[in-house]
Chain A
Amino acid sequence: MPEKIQTIHYVNQFFGGLGGEDQAGVAPQWYDGPKGPGQLIAGMAPDIEIIGTIVAGDNYMAENLDAAVAEIVGLIEAKRTVAADFKPKLLLAGPAFNAGRYGMACAAVCQAVQARLGIHAATALHEENPAVEIYRRPVTIVRASSDVMGMRDAATNMARVGLKLVAGAAIVPTEDNTISHGLRQNYFADAPGAQRAIDMLLRKVSGATPETEYAMPVFGRVPPAPAVKNMAQATLALVTSGGIVPRGNPDRIESANASKFGAYSLQGLDRLSGETHQSVHGGYDPTYANEDPNRVLPLDVMRDLEREGRIGKLSETYYATVGNATSVERAQRYGQNIAAELVNVGVQAVILTST
């Protein structure tokens, strides 16, 4: 008979049987064996052995979440040092349904034990629980009903998903009834793409709602910055995602999905040329940009406007990266870092060029 998976269960004071709001201030405590919903889990999931239950008060957790979570991590570590056969592989927290304080505690405990103790963890929450938006990325969250009426389903599924995590199996939100981490993950589908496309089209033509494999993404918005009042006094900077770098690509910026941006001096340059600069962008034909890099980064015109007094000054550093297959998350980070550097040196406006 295979060994059972040693599991720790986390519950609040109410589900731990200590009491209601009057007990919400109790500090985390360890009880050997299952309590409350843990008994339900132990009854339904024969592969799970609940070796202990940690019970903590909702207010105690909510009032200083980080410290309280650290206390719980400490509790488990202390058990490890005294008992050689204490080898928990899984922590289950809740279900916490739509309970705000309890949900936050469950998710925070899951995140901490998986990161600091290397123990797999899962909780069960209603999709509107405020902990979902905060913790969905790092924590595996099984879908639960809004109240305790759905205890049986949520507890059973949490245990099943927890065992899958321990086994190293992929969790598929649509099949496992979990809340997605908001990440895209590759897998090999049963049919090739062309066949799936035709099947999807036939359903759509017949009037059914298509089940898209990728729903349209939403992009962030920022309010427009106020206009430059006096251009003739303003310092402007050039920034490009078109991959124009000094010849030789000193920072070795990648031709696709660039892992960095570069900051390069324009001092003493009146225009760019094919001798001084080049394109390292892998997403467009670089022939024209290599012939005359001003076609992507218009230094020649900026110098003219500077001389004519149309602008106050061109910042002596320009910034460049490669916007080819570069993820939005990276691009946002580069944008924020470049903006911070530009603000530091007193730049008031930016001309950003893209290919």
Chain B
Amino acid sequence: MTLTLHKHIVNQVKLGEQTGINQGCLSLDAAALARTLQEQDHRLARIRVRLALPGEATRILCVKDVVQPRAKAVGTEPGTGVLCVLENVAIATCGPIVGFQEGIIDMSGPGAAYTPFSRLPLIVLEIDVHEPLDPHAHEEALREAGTRAAKFVAQSCLDSVPDQTEEVLWDEVPCAPSLPRIGYVYIVLSQGLLHDTYVLGRNAQEGLPISVDPRIVLDNGVLSGNCVSACDKNTTFHHQNNPVIAELLSGHGTRWNFTGVVITNEPTRLAEKQLSAAAAVEKIIQMKSSGVIISKEGFGNPDADLMMIVRDLEQAGIKTVAITDEFAGSDGASQSLADTTPEADALVSTGNANERVELPAMATTIGPLPDVSRLAGGYPHSLRDDGSMEVELQAIIGATNQLGYSHLSCREA
């Protein structure tokens, strides 16, 4: 199986009469996009399409998901064929709060440093649904609107000549037996409303763990249906651009042998956690991996999933490195994790999500401003009359992403 990426590098985004890319300039017919989404889903009452550009004094609130435009140009089988990818642009969905977990993106100022999406031109869809709509349906409607919008935009570029063509190679690459065999355990959240992930179209609550070809993940194989919390939810964009997979593919055959990806979940029952962990470990053992990277999603009870997998792999003689964020309290004085195991002697920290940041008022806000105080990481007094606010990093989308997408880390001081 082969996967070819046709990459279009976007250097400008504008709203216009039609949708398509020309010389790096992406034009979007916002009315046509809104109409298409509403035709496909009658639950969507109103869609406002706006652009938010890097450096602008814009704050986007109650962000549900961020999605990169990717669409299949050739083929139907996941992970094969030709995939059209728009680089340097993303779709962000926002709107009235469904739960507590939606997040903030600031396009400039101190908050911008903590989210990777402040560096991309964003096509923001602010979506209201027809009330009453139960929260699960509300979440689904917005999730699907985001992925459909991404597809709509990417499909408009299928006939344009890509700026770069990239063959993604994996199991066809010959690997010397002397190379270390490195696998990846990809733990995703699977705990209900605003706490779910979709793997190959199925809710991650069932059917996991599975081992997959890493190219399936690049080909929209994993979609986010969760918002827990904004700082360490893996947005769909993060899944599409999974940095562990990207890194492991880049050194495959030269620095190591990338043995494969095991996607597993974080169930809500202890017995199921134990079953998932044991099955994930078994799959890694079958791949004859000598070392494994483990990424996690969420915090608290997912720490238990992570620690079980670390312990069982290390006891099976397989070296582990786990990527986790920390919840060390606002002053950094507390224990950072809810669960521990002595075998977890190699952790990469993606930052203390309890640390607070002062966000100044912005000229433009997109999304429902009064809902800020209800967001995880927000406080009743978060929003001041002048529009400024103090929040914990956990309210900022992608701030402490546990796939290791960003540079934020934490150390002893």
Contacts and interface: CB of A to CB of B under 8 A. Distances in A.
Interface of A: 137, 170-174, 180-198, 200-202, 204-206, 210, 212-214, 216-219, 252, 254-257, 259, 280, 282-287, 323-325, 327-330
A327 to B, nearest CB: 3
Contacts of B182: 198, 201, 205
A90 B101 CA distance: 45
Q: Which of A212, A259, A280 has the most CB of B within 10 A?
A: A212
B407 A189 contact: yes
B332 interface: yes
Given A195-B247, A325-B229, A217 B336 contact: yes
Given A187-B408, A193-B348, 17 more contacts: A171-B413, A172-B411, A180-B413, A184-B332, A184-B411, A185-B332, A193-B407, A194-B246, A194-B323, A201-B293, A216-B340, A217-B336, A257-B354, A259-B379, A283-B298, A283-B300, A327-B327
B413 A204 contact: no
A327 B354 contact: yes
Contacts of A254: 376, 378-380
A271 B279 CA distance: 41
Contacts of A181: 412-413
Contact of B376 (A173, A184, A187, A324): A324
A204 B321 contact: yes
Interface string B303-344: 000000000000000011111101111111111110011101
Given A195-B404, A204-B291, A328-B335, A186 B410 contact: yes
Interface of B: 99-101, 113, 135-136, 180, 182, 191-195, 228-229, 243-244, 246-248, 251, 255-256, 268, 290-293, 298-301, 319-324, 326-337, 340-342, 344-355, 373-380, 392-394, 401-413
A254 B375 CA distance: 8
Contacts of B243: 192-195
Nearest 8 interchain pairs by C-beta: A285-B192, A193-B404, A327-B329, A194-B404, A282-B100, A185-B413, A210-B346, A217-B335
Contact of B405 (A193, A214, A287): A193
A282 B376 CA distance: 6
B268 A284 contact: yes
Contacts of B335: 217-219, 328
B180 A170 contact: no
Given A212-B347, A257-B354, A327-B329, A188 B334 contact: no
A327 B330 contact: yes
Contacts of A324: 300, 376
Contacts of A137: 333
A134 B297 CA distance: 37
A213 B349 contact: yes
A214 B334 CA distance: 12
B377 A183 contact: no
A212 B401 CA distance: 18
Contacts of A198: 182, 244, 247-248, 251, 293, 321
B336 A191 contact: no
Nearest to A182: B333
A192 B405 CA distance: 6
A313 to B, nearest CB: 32
B143 to A, nearest CB: 15
Contacts of A180: 412-413
A204 B412 contact: no
Contacts of B407: 188-193
A196 B326 contact: no
Contact of B328 (A184, A196, A252, A323): A184
A284 to B, nearest CB: 6
Given A201-B291, A255-B374, A282-B101, A184 B352 contact: yes
Nearest to B380: A252
B328 A286 contact: no
Interface residues of chain A: helix, strand, loop or mixed (majority): loop
A227 to B, nearest CB: 26
Given A182-B333, A185-B332, A216-B341, A287 B100 contact: no
Nearest to B293: A197
Nearest to B232: A325
Contacts of B99: 282, 286
A193 B408 CA distance: 8
Contact of B191 (A187, A259, A284): A284
Contacts of B229: 256, 282-283, 325
A242 to B, nearest CB: 12
Contacts of B412: 173-174, 180-185
B405 A325 contact: no
Contacts of A213: 347-349, 409-411
A160 B263 CA distance: 49
B293 A186 contact: no
A30 B394 CA distance: 50
6 contacts: A193-B349, A193-B405, A197-B404, A256-B100, A327-B327, A327-B333
A305 to B, nearest CB: 25
A257 B377 contact: yes
Contacts of A183: 328, 331-333, 412-413
Given A186-B410, A197-B244, A287 B332 contact: no
Contact of A187 (B100, B402, B409): B409
Contact of B193 (A187, A195, A285, A329): A285
Contacts of B321: 197-198, 200-201, 204, 210
Given A196-B348, A285-B191, A214 B406 contact: no
Nearest to A213: B349
A116 B372 CA distance: 37
A186 B409 contact: yes
Nearest to B377: A256
Instruction: Give the most central of A174, A194, A257, A286: most B CB within 10 Å.
Output: A194
B405 A188 contact: no
B388 to A, nearest CB: 19
A160 B234 CA distance: 42
A252 B328 CA distance: 23
A185 to B, nearest CB: 4
A182 B405 CA distance: 27
Contact of B329 (A192, A205, A219, A330): A330
Contact of B319 (A173, A204, A328): A204
A252 B351 CA distance: 27
B244 A329 contact: no
A212 B348 CA distance: 7
Given A201-B291, A256-B100, A327-B334, A192 B347 contact: no
